[in-house]
Structure 1
């Protein structure tokens, strides 16, 4: 059993389990939670080049994207990895861009449609975050087409965002978009940088979006003033959309997304600029929407899921967030829209995404040249 350290964060008790050898994870390691649950961590597959997003198919197989190559794979139920699927769009790789998130259509059982977000190459080396869809058929994707492309194309390799999330009723698709490390455009509604957009599954624009019809705004925008979001999920049984947003030097945020709201970046932040310059804190500008929770030092939130499985019944409706910088999974206990407790599970690699499998186990992707798919399960269950 690993050593356990108790620390205090924002007045809450937090459990951090010490890191263990990455080599040992080729077999099995055990972590113990603060409520006495023993967790088994298994390596299912290795050698992925910065895996970024995943989505479970109804039959238990797992779609996995590979950021740095633009490849999409299927992890079979016997944990063998398919050949790269055909029909994936051309991707601009490099830096933080590449092939990123993957999601199933709410009507996947009828239409076999999947969605991919990716860095779309443009003229002069510029790129834009794009979202497209196609039909999963055999060893490839048929009839892939873009349904949204972020405006404008810009240079640079940072802050592509993003995550794909459908509303609980399946009527709307939300896509988080980073501000591409351009700062001020996040306050300008005439572009998509630093926004969360809301569209229909075919890319059409809902008439009740907050800025529809304004000459100075893009119709797809739902919220703006964001820096870089890579963690998005709806809270079960509600219409509450949560996002984990990366701050600069400090000040990672947990936010609830509200129609038409401005979240303040880069005018305000709970962090500082990388060169040490101070940024006004959100309470100085009450017109901006403030975070419900913040982290300094940062966790670099990437990937988010609400636990709805049976393997850990005490965690039902808890929020799980991947931590890049801190190399951990963060579990948040909510009372409505209030975070009342936090627990952290330390791991030996950066965590890019987290999801809940059909059997109630937890899958994570590691963000490395030799990236992995890991499965976290109860030692009392297979």
Structure 2
């Protein structure tokens, strides 16, 4: 048996000792965020139910909208009362574990080019990766046209874990893309643990990438002139980012990131910076043993928030709407395990407080829709679209 098989074959008494004999979470310079007060002044309504593993939502300029289902469907809705229309023309998608059809975003100049961008897992169980598709949406024909894979992550992996992946536009022609580290120990990519790729600049795994609308590295990327690094890399040392949000006024890019057991993070992403995984972390292995004794190093960026117990964060919104004036300029982070949305109260680049919006279902995406309302996608099977509105 390998090291991992030996570790999970420990007698129950030893496992009991590991779990219950003071196996506290690591301490470090960032306080751990536990439970927080309930936010006030809001209510909710369920608009759509019966979705199959919904992953992302985006609106078109006419307020119609698209929802991706991880199981491989792209759905178009004319309004919240009409049923879904399935859009055809998707590529072959690898649907297994955490892989499938994931994020969707429309181009900033959608009115002119009708471009939609989707992230998905391509390949098979032996060789797969995160990829980005660009296509023209033909609503009348209910199909994608001129579909083209404009970017694929390297290297390929053989696990069904940790694909990322979110897209957020940083200008009228560039976007950030999050990519997971490839999988939990003992999963390997090549001859090293997949998680170690997060520290390797010749790998896209465990990174935030910065790409043009054609899937090419932007000219301002920090490693674009480094022959030993992939030019698409914007930041590194990430585990599995499933939420990205961009502040157009400040240029700040925010990310929420899954830890292992506990240690989920909110990070302010800076070009060229190392965010530590797996060399520094507040989380532990899923079987409670230590990943590392380090939670901070001088050459690595500390998180702004550490969620322990875990929130399993997914979906992140920087709110600019007018329906909740007191919430303007704050972040909203969904929680799969937490089954809530965290309002993260900002003062510039500092987090000064948190509140929760209890949903009671697994939250996959959080978006600001037309007219300034906040929308939440929930669930695995029988997923829902919920609108948050003033009470």
TM-score band (shorter)? 0.7 to 0.9
Shift of 1:213: 3.5
Shift of 1:208: 2.6
Query: Is 1:143 equivalent to 2:146 in the alignment?
Result: yes
Q: Which residue of 1 aligns with 2:285?
A: 273
Query: Is 1:62 equivalent to 2:77 in the alignment?
Result: no
Separation in 2, partners of 1:367, 1:136: 26
Shift of 1:11: 8.1
Please, which runs of 5 or more residues in structure 2 have no aligned partner?
Answer: 1-30, 184-193
Separation in 1, partners of 2:262, 2:180: 17
- Note the alpha carbon deviations across 1:129-180, whole angstroms, 9 max, x for none: 001111111211111101110001111111111100111x323211000011
| Most deviating of 98-107 and 230-239 | 230-239
Query: Is 1:160 equivalent to 2:138 in the alignment?
Result: no
- Secondary structure of the corresponding residue to residue 110 of structure 1: helix
Query: Is 1:214 equivalent to 2:226 in the alignment?
Result: yes
Q: Which residue of 1 aligns with 2:177?
A: 175
Distance 1:140 1:316, change over 3 A: same
Query: Is 1:116 equivalent to 2:128 in the alignment?
Result: no
Correspondence list, 1:226-305, <5 A: 226-278=238-290, 279-283=292-296, 285-305=297-317
Q: 1:88 aligns with which of 87, 90, 111?
A: 90
Separation in 2, partners of 1:128, 1:243: 21
Q: Which residue of 1 aligns with 2:201?
A: 189
Distance 1:13 1:250, change over 3 A: closer
Shift of 1:314: 1.2
Distance 1:13 1:364, change over 3 A: closer
- What's the RMSD between the two structures over aligned residues? 1.7
Query: Is 1:72 equivalent to 2:74 in the alignment?
Result: yes
Give yes or no for contact 2:320–2:328 (8 Å, CA) kept in 1.
Answer: yes
- Secondary structure of the corresponding residue to residue 131 of structure 2: strand
Shift of 1:240: 0.6
Give yes or no for contact 1:236–1:317 (8 Å, CA) kept in 2.
Answer: no
Separation in 1, partners of 2:80, 2:353: 36
- Note the alpha carbon deviations across 1:248-291, whole angstroms, 9 max, x for none: 111111111111111111111011112222222332x2211111
Give yes or no for contact 2:33–2:308 (8 Å, CA) kept in 1.
Answer: no
Q: Which residue of 2 aligns with 1:22?
A: none
Query: Is 1:127 equivalent to 2:128 in the alignment?
Result: yes
Separation in 2, partners of 1:12, 1:313: 26
Q: Which residue of 1 aligns with 2:214?
A: 202
Separation in 1, partners of 2:33, 2:282: 17
Give yes or no for contact 1:12–1:342 (8 Å, CA) kept in 2.
Answer: no
Q: 1:373 aligns with which of 367, 372, 385?
A: 385
Aligned residues: 348
- Note the alpha carbon deviations across 1:214-246, whole angstroms, 9 max, x for none: 332211111111100001011241111000011
Separation in 2, partners of 1:11, 1:53: 26
Separation in 2, partners of 1:78, 1:282: 45
Separation in 2, partners of 1:252, 1:213: 32
Please, which runs of 5 or more residues in structure 1 have no aligned partner?
Answer: 1-8, 17-32
- Secondary structure of the corresponding residue to residue 284 of structure 2: coil
Separation in 2, partners of 1:102, 1:183: 26
Separation in 2, partners of 1:231, 1:216: 28
Separation in 1, partners of 2:168, 2:84: 25
TM-score of the pair, normalised by structure 2: 0.85
Separation in 2, partners of 1:50, 1:193: 24
- Secondary structure of the corresponding residue to residue 144 of structure 2: strand
Separation in 1, partners of 2:276, 2:173: 28
- Note the alpha carbon deviations across 1:289-324, whole angstroms, 9 max, x for none: 111111111111100111111211111111111111
TM-score of the pair, normalised by structure 1: 0.87
